[in-house]
Structure 1
Amino acid sequence: MLMKRRVELYDTTLRDGSQMEGISFSLEDKLKITEKLDEFGIHYIEGGWPGSNPKDIQYFKAVRDLPLENAKIAAFGSTRRPRLRPEEDPNLNALVESEAPIATIFGKSWDLHVTEALRTTLENNIQMIIDSIEYLRDHGMVVFYDAEHFFDGYRENPEYAMKTIKAAEEAGAERIVLADTNGGSLPSFIKEVVEKVKEEVKTPLGIHAHNDSELAVANSLIAFEAGVVQIQGTINGYGERCGNANLISIIPALELKYGVEVVGKERLRKLKELAHFVAELANMEIPRNQPYVGDSAFAHKGGVHVSAVLKNPRTYEHIDPELVGNRRKVVVSELSGRSNLIYKAKELGIELEERDIKRIVEEIKKLEFEGYHFEAAEASLELLIERLRGRYKPFFELERARVITEIFQGQPPISEANVVVRVNSRRVHTTAEGNGPVNALDLALRKALTKFYPELKEIKLVDYKVRVLGSEKGTAAKVRVLVQTSDGKKTWGTVGASTNIIEASLNAIMESMEYWLMKEREKDEK
């Protein structure tokens, strides 16, 4: 489907997105996100509500110094208060003082909100809309009017809802944005209403959808099909309650499905980078299965799928992952077949011989039955393949390990670990204390091995996760430990499984060291 139309992207991550539970952007965060959004090609960036808090007031002062190339900054606010003249209203004056080129103000379209929330008359609400837009325009601002709760208002009182946006049009609003504020409308209703509004309103329309029914992206796209020119949303769908329309899904849909150029193909390749950049500053994790940019968005696990994808990626991929900055991923697990293993081995730089494939697949399935999990532990998978091929020589052997934890009432516990390792023919015995049994074992093992491999000082454990398997067995259940280790340049995952959490942890840590030493040896051999 090709549509030769211009679409405006209006990002409200810094205002609506920041209202999500758990998100609090600093002023520096907001400025960094503004620069990133501008670089990506977003047309409008809603910086905040200058009448609501000091941080947003500071933002509008600071953002004037940013050399933005693509985006225009919008300040958000509301129509005047029911019993104040525009010049007396602190919110409207804060918008003017922000010196933003665009003022986006919301007003009531649903008569229920006018009488119950504002406690004013329907006629006064119309006058509030007119007065506010005219006042801001008189001060040189372009005004976008957000018709809050428009679809709910239209459903219950279409005549009054239409009166509110016609008043905004007559007052000079340059965009009228229809908001599904409660996020409960269905796409068919959104389409029907937008088409009816277009028949009576000549001002360009926009859509502002919330995600309370998991339909914000669908509602935004159907509104686009019905004729809106502006789509409002947030990066990663951040927002109050269930969030806002996710621009990270909307943008590639417009570019790749509708054929509408909104940011261009080159910038689109930075989509995943943008999503992760904002997520990092928001201190939020991107769901692995998030469309387009999630780590699992193009991951293939079933053997039948992988076999088909190797022949033609279109069989199980709706787009080329590289178009949005992502990559194809083949997962090796108990559901895997030959195709998964062959693909993954090639990805790891290993050419498997036919005689090895069946044996390795069977071993992986056996280990996963015992509790191992290689999807997030590719380093352990690579070590396993090399061991089964007979190509791997261990760098050390653990002879024994012991850890003792002493707990004193009212004091931090102390753990002491003893390990004995053999490197070639030499036997080393070391002891270390840590703030827990795993930390103590890690320190003792490093202390022993750095005598032979001083380069191990460069790596450190960056993540440690424990999963209980078969929880019905209580404290006797088997556990799986996933460890992430980094040398400051790259990160790798290893796994251990046992009914003893200490053993599982130690095995995962030893694998992380073995893997890094193997990679260092490979570099030296080259």
Structure 2
Amino acid sequence: ENSELKMGVTALPPGGVAKLTATAAAVAKACKQPLEARQPYVGSSAFAHKGGLHVAALAKMPSSYNHVVPGTVGNAARSVVSELSGRGNVLSAAVAAGREVSKDTAGIVLAQIKELESKGFVLEDAGASVDILFQRAAAGYRAPFNVLEFNVSASNNAFGGVVTAEGMEDAKDLDFVDDDFAPDDEDEDAAWRATSLRRESGYKRGTVSVNQVVVKVELLEYDDDDDATADSKPSAAKAIRSSRRRTKLCVAEGNGPVNALANALQLALNERFPQLKRIHLVDYQVDLLSSEGTSAAVTRVTMDFVDRGGGGTWRTVGAHASIIEASFRALVDGMEYGIAQCGADGCVVGEVGVEAREGAPETTAR
């Protein structure tokens, strides 16, 4: 790329440079490896900008902070929302999401972003979490549901728990690991010693992990004329109070506590929001942020969702000292985003964009 674009050396056939990003993505897919976001020229973050001054300057003169025009290599510049963002970044993100917000609302969302990122959230690539902030800050916001409480239980079932002497039958029913130690049926003393040993240490009869979640949600319904009661001033954004509320209690199991939590939430919400049946959690990443120690570390969880019907994808993030709480926050954001963006005909994700000048940044949601 440097040879072609900056030194004038012809290294590729005509039009080859413009296909670099698409080619890199195709190679990564063929190798079943993700394309590194920070890969020079072809990565999704190769021409990303998050500083407020940078984005403002790029909007006026795209070449001011880009060493080459991104479109030359088939890529595109984009602005990301973070604690370094200015109000312009936030407004750009709102437009990219198809929302019209005032400067006051953008200021409110920006303050929330800075507060969340100070707690460990990283919203640069979690476009859905940012969009949810806009949605909740908008005048006339209608919350689709509230999670009143949830309980996560990780245990062993009756076929896998630790069985002590009180729950064991005769020692001859034990599956001894050491054949030399197995007591003879006629050796009562050996049987007693075996039972005594198991009484002290417990006898594990094949562990089977069980992860169960009990969740109580409040499903909210609104009258069609509720919009008329909403304050039209974005600076005084207030959520509309629901007309009817219905509480639902659901229990679900899963392959791990996070999967069980996702199953329980979908079980509680699918009847009211059938579009969630097409939405699946496809990637789950965990990062420890604190250096205090692994057990006391703040945990950041990133989740990727996909609409199996239309192929749209989005990402949310959560952070908390409890990995379950961090996962819960990312999961709720992902589902609320799916409810807002998806309908019977599919999900509208990433289809609303901004007509930008060549080389100017676009705010993209993943």
Q: Does the alignment reach a TM-score above 0.5?
A: yes
**Structure 2 residue aligned with 1:490:** 312
| Alignment pair present for 1:423 and 2:173 | no
1:297-316 paired onto structure 2 within 5 Å? 297-316=46-65
Alignment partners' CA distance in 1, 2:344 and 2:333? 16
**Which amino acid in structure 2 is aligned with residue 491 of structure 1?**
T
CA-CA distance at 1:519 after TM superposition: 1.0
Aligned to 2:266: 446
Q: Which runs of 5+ in 2 are unaligned?
A: 162-203, 221-244, 349-366
Structure 1 counterpart of 2:213, one-letter code = A
**Hey, what does 2:12 align to over in structure 1?**
262
Aligned match of 1:277 = 26
Q: Distance in 2 between matches of 1:278 and 1:426?
A: 50
Quote the offset at 1:282 in angstroms: 1.9
RMSD of the TM alignment (CA)? 2.2
1:482 counterpart letter in structure 2:
T
- Structure 1 residue 401 corresponds to structure 2 residue 150: yes
**What is the distance in 2 between the residues matched to 1:263 and 1:443?**
52
Residue 285 of structure 2 is aligned to residue 465 of structure 1:
yes
Q: Structure 1 residue 307: deviation in Å?
A: 1.5
Separation (CA, whole Å) in 2 of partners of 1:368 and 1:465:
17
Tell me the CA shift for residue 473 of structure 1: 4.1
Residues 228-274 of structure 1: per-residue CA shift (max 9 Å, x gap): xxxxxxxxxxxxxxxxxxxxx46xx4257516373323x53332111
Deviation at 1:434, TM superposition (A): 0.9
**Aligned-partner Cα distance in 2 for 1:523–1:435:** 30
CA distance in 2, matches of 1:293, 1:387: 34
Q: CA deviation at 1:430?
A: 0.9
Secondary structure of 1:426's aligned partner: strand
CA contact (8 A) 2:58 2:64 kept: yes
Change in CA separation of 1:522 and 1:378 when aligned onto 2, cut-off 3 Å? farther
- The one-letter code matched in structure 2 to 1:414 is V
CA distance in 2, matches of 1:522, 1:331: 30
Distance in 2 (CA, whole Å) between partners of 1:388 and 1:522 is 26
Partner in structure 1 of residue 327 of structure 2? 505
CA distance in 1, matches of 2:345, 2:61: 34
Aligned runs of 1:35-50 on 2, under 5 Å? none
Per-residue CA shift, 1:301-337, capped at 9, x if unaligned?
Answer: 1222112111111001122212222111101111111
State the alpha-carbon separation in 2 of the partners of residues 352 and 310 from structure 1.
Answer: 19
Corresponding residue SS for 2:216: strand
CA distance in 2: counterparts of 1:345 and 1:317, whole angstroms:
23
8 Å CA contact 1:479–1:498 kept in 2: the answer is: yes
What are the Cα deviations for residues 436-487 of structure 1, in whole angstroms up to 9, with x where unaligned? 1111111111111111112211111111011112131431222111100000
Shift of 1:286: 2.5
What does residue 210 of structure 2 align with?
414
- Deviation, structure 1 residue 350: 2.1
1:115-168 C-alpha deviation (Å, 9 max, x unpaired): xxxxxxxxxxxxxxxxxxxxxxxxxxxxxxxxxxxxxxxxxxxxxxxxxxxxxx
One-letter identity of the residue aligned with 1:374? L
Equivalent residues of 1:255, 1:261 under 8 A apart: no
Structure 1 runs not aligned, ≥5 long: 1-248
Q: Judge conservation of contact 1:255–1:264 (CA < 8 Å) in 2.
A: no
CA contact (8 A) 1:301 1:336 kept: yes
Contact 1:480 1:504 in 2 (8 A): yes
Q: Deviations over 1:180-201 (max 9, x none)?
A: xxxxxxxxxxxxxxxxxxxxxx
Give the counterpart letter for 2:284 in structure 1.
Y
**Aligned equivalents of 1:263, 1:517: Cα separation in 2:** 47
User: Are 1:417 and 1:433, in contact at CA under 8 Å, matched by a contact in 2?
Assistant: yes
For 1:83-162, list aligned pairs within 5 A: none
Rounded to whole Å, the distance in 1 between the matches of 2:321 and 2:41 is 38
Aligned to 1:383: 132
Question: What's 1:372 paired with?
Answer: 121
1:162-241 matches, within 5 Å, as none
Which residue is 1:357 aligned to?
106
Query: Contact (CA 8 Å) 1:330, 1:340: kept in 2 or not?
Result: yes
Q: Does 1:474 align with 2:294?
A: yes
Residue identity opposite 1:284 in structure 2: Q
TM-score, normalised to structure 1, is 0.49
Kindly provide the amino acid, as one letter, of the partner of residue 263 in structure 1: P
The runs of at least 4 aligned residues of structure 1 exceeding 4 Å deviation read 521-524
Following the alignment from structure 1 to structure 2, what is the Cα–Cα distance between the partners of residues 390 and 501? 32
2:127 and 2:297 mapped to 1: Cα distance?
A: 25
Q: Contact between 2:87 and 2:103, CA under 8 Å: does it hold in 1?
A: no
Could you tell me which amino acid in structure 1 is paired with residue 72 of structure 2?
L
String of CA shifts for 1:355-385, please: whole Å, max 9, x gaps.
2222221221111111211112110101102
Q: 2:147 matched to 1:327?
A: no
* Counterpart-to-counterpart distance in 1, 2:319 and 2:113: 13
Identify the match of residue 432 of structure 1 among 214, 227, 252: 252
8 Å Cα contact 1:255-1:262 kept in structure 2? no
Q: Is 1:517 aligned to 2:339, yes or no?
A: yes
2:293 is equivalent to residue 293 of structure 1? no
Mapped partners of 1:406, 1:315: distance in 2: 58
Percent identity between the two aligned chains = 38
Measure, in 2, the Cα distance between the counterparts of 1:257 and 1:292: 16
Query: How many angstroms apart in 2 are the aligned matches of 1:462 and 1:370?
Result: 25
Over residues 9-40 of structure 1, what are the superposed CA-to-partner deviations in whole Å (9 max), with x where a residue is unaligned?
xxxxxxxxxxxxxxxxxxxxxxxxxxxxxxxx
**Quick check: 1:397–1:422 contact (8 Å CA) kept in 2?**
yes
In terms of Rg, which structure is larger? Answer: 1
Residues 309 and 315, structure 1, Cα contact 8 Å, conserved in 2: yes
CA displacement at 1:391 relative to structure 2: 4.4
Structure 2 counterpart of 1:79:
none
Residue 240 of structure 2 corresponds to which residue in structure 1? none
Q: 2: CA distance between counterparts of 1:454 and 1:388?
A: 25
